[in-house]
Chains A and B, each alone.
Chain A
Amino acid sequence: MTRKRFGHAAFQVVFWLVVAIILFYVLFPFYWAVKTSLTSPGDLARTALHWFPDRPVLSNYLEVFRVQPFGRNLVNSLMVALGTVLVSLLLSAPAAYALGKFRFRGKRPVMYVILAVSVFPQIAVLPGLYAVVKWLHLYNTWGALILSYLIFTLPFTVWTLTAFMREIPTELEEAAVIDGASPLVTLFRVLLPVMTPALVTTGLLAFINAWNEFLFALTFTSDNSARTVPVAIGMFTGASQHESPFALIMAASVVVTVPLIALVLVFQRKIVEGLTAGAVKG
């Protein structure tokens, strides 16, 4: 009996060790970025390998907004991501209604086409999309990015909302239809209010994807009037050549990451649900 209990205790210790290692592995790089962002560029060469900041300063955070047009990049990212979410949800809610609640021929092929688009490599449509963007005179605008981001947000939002739509009791929709409500009224007045949590989850994931996008943002913008944060961070250079720009880059990185981590912590249950809904229910 005691031997068994000892084995159990040993198992517990090993287990907690594993947990500690996992925690260190996933959190350390972010901690390191925060630590570096609090070090003044002049001190960096001396204290880069210290585990804790010697003299924490906020100067890098001020510098990011003063020297770099980072505020502008943030506004661009925010507007592009919000615009993408809005357009995606507006387009995909009716589509999900059709795919989730209607019976018609050609439904399966439509579902397959939408699923196929979601595995399109972005680079495969880049040349053609470039032509569309030029043709619509959207080059170097928010519009170019909102339009091009639809290729990865739309399949995802349609697919996920359809999965959620199927779960709404059919009686609800039938009652509205019998009362003579038009399809759009049924959708916007009856179904969508019930689906608010699903809309939040789906919208949030689309927002994160749009916020993080790099390839299209790099290719369809040419200056800071529309350049988003990931491109700005990817192309970051220091104020002078002698200073390593990494303290600044880390400050900028922390600025864009903290809101995301906050969102994720607040909505973590919903996010996990949304991430797995497409895969498991679909």
Chain B
Amino acid sequence: MLDLPEVIAAPAKRGRGRSFEGRRARTALWLLLPTLFAIALVGGYPLLRTIYLSFTDANLGSGDEPHWVGLENYWNVTEDGVNVGLLADPAWWRSVWNTVLLTITSVSVETLFGLGFALVINSKIKGRGLLRTAILVPWAIPTVVSAQMWNWMYQDSLGIVSAWGRQLGWLKVGQSLVANPDTALWALVAVDVWKTTPFMALLLLAGLQSIPTDLYEAARVDGATRLQQFRRITLPLLAPALLVAVIFRTLDALRIFDMPYVVKGNAPETMTMSIYARQQMIDNAQFGMGSSVSVLIFLVIMMFTIAYMTLSRVNLEQTQ
């Protein structure tokens, strides 16, 4: 939406007036208009509105018009010297830490698993079709459903995972990985890894299949071992696909809401940034405050995006 003026400006070059190019450009604009309007309605305007609301005392319960309060939602030192602003709220920082921890561990583990799956499926074995189909199962299961399925397996007395834990002597009777605040986050990482590894594997598989096979032939002729082939051919040529997959998944994991919410609700030990925002906004009815949280989440994700874009540019320059 931001660049609409430029789009409109294109056919306005009166010099070529009714030229074919100009007509085409105008047609393109008309074809794009409904989509741009829809994106402005559900993306652009709501984002601007959220930013505006974050500077107000908007409340979900009262019908009053929101009042401008400046930065008070973010930073507000009261007369007693206590900062009641968001940036001084330990619960917010804990949710940031939880989310970052969950994202980093989950994305690293699923990258490793996904790479393993992709390598296995890519090898010329019988039954690879079956394997490729099977790994689509976790992907196809709705996130909420997978959360409930694992919730059941984690259940303290009747859950199968808890039973295995007891057999291995890791858990005592009545203990469960999700109920224990020290292990809950890691239990959720396991659910996320299970659910999202297939996506990773499919993206990496597409990357693997685009590597020309004669490279391996040549390496074999030169006497390279399998490990050398993997390190010198597979990894470097897979790097672009790997980077795209990791970026996709990181940005996705940073905004995670449904799985932890269904398993643990608003519990502080597994509260992610999105859960914290919704709690402020809906459960506490503090719409303005909740909007401030949303703005901060947006900023965090922008930071990650910019970091990745810089990183990938550096990477591209190195390979060229």
A-side residues, CB < 8 A to B, are 15, 18-19, 22-23, 25-27, 29-30, 32-33, 36, 44-45, 48-49, 91-92, 94-95, 97-99, 102-107, 109-110, 113-114, 117, 119-129, 131-132, 147-148, 150-151, 154-155, 158, 183, 187, 208, 211-212, 214-215, 219, 229-231, 233-234, 236, 244, 246, 249-250, 253, 256-257, 260-261, 263-265, 268, 271-272, 275-276, 279-280
Contact = CB atoms under 8 A, between A and B. Distances in A.
B186 to A, nearest CB: 17
B179 to A, nearest CB: 15
Given A94-B32, A117-B39, A234-B148, A183 B137 contact: no
A27 B281 CA distance: 38
B120 A102 contact: no
Given A30-B149, A33-B152, A265-B133, A102 B295 contact: no
Contacts of A126: 46, 50, 277-278, 281, 294
Contact of A256 (B145, B198, B254): B145
Interface in B99-139: 116-117, 120, 123, 125, 127, 131-139
B224 interface: no
Contact of A104 (B24, B38, B297): B24
B160 interface: yes
Contacts of A261: 137, 140-141
Contacts of A265: 133, 136
B297 A230 contact: no
Q: Give the interface size bracket for B toward A.
A: 35 or more
A97 B155 CA distance: 51
Contacts of B145: 33, 230, 233, 253, 256-257
A253 B39 contact: no
B31 A19 contact: no
A124 B300 CA distance: 11
B206 interface: yes
A113 B207 CA distance: 26
Contacts of A244: 155, 158
A102 B43 contact: no
Interface stretch (B212-220, B230-238, B240-248): B240-248
A234 B277 contact: no
Contacts of A214: 143-144, 257-258, 261-262
Interface string B239-268: 001001100100100110110011000000
Interface of B: 1-3, 6-7, 9-11, 21, 24-25, 27-32, 34-36, 38-39, 41-43, 45-50, 53, 58, 116-117, 120, 123, 125, 127, 131-150, 152-153, 155, 158-160, 163, 194, 198-199, 202-203, 205-207, 210, 241, 244-245, 248, 251, 254-255, 257-258, 261-262, 273-274, 277-278, 281-282, 287, 290-291, 293-295, 297-298, 301, 305
B130 to A, nearest CB: 8
B287 A127 contact: yes
B146 A29 contact: yes
A113 B3 contact: yes
Contacts of B202: 272, 275-276
A15 B210 CA distance: 23
A249 B155 CA distance: 13
Interface-central residue, A104, A109, A246, A279, by most chain B CB under 10 Å = A104
A215 B274 CA distance: 10
Nearest to A36: B152
Given A102-B28, A219-B282, A123 B42 contact: no
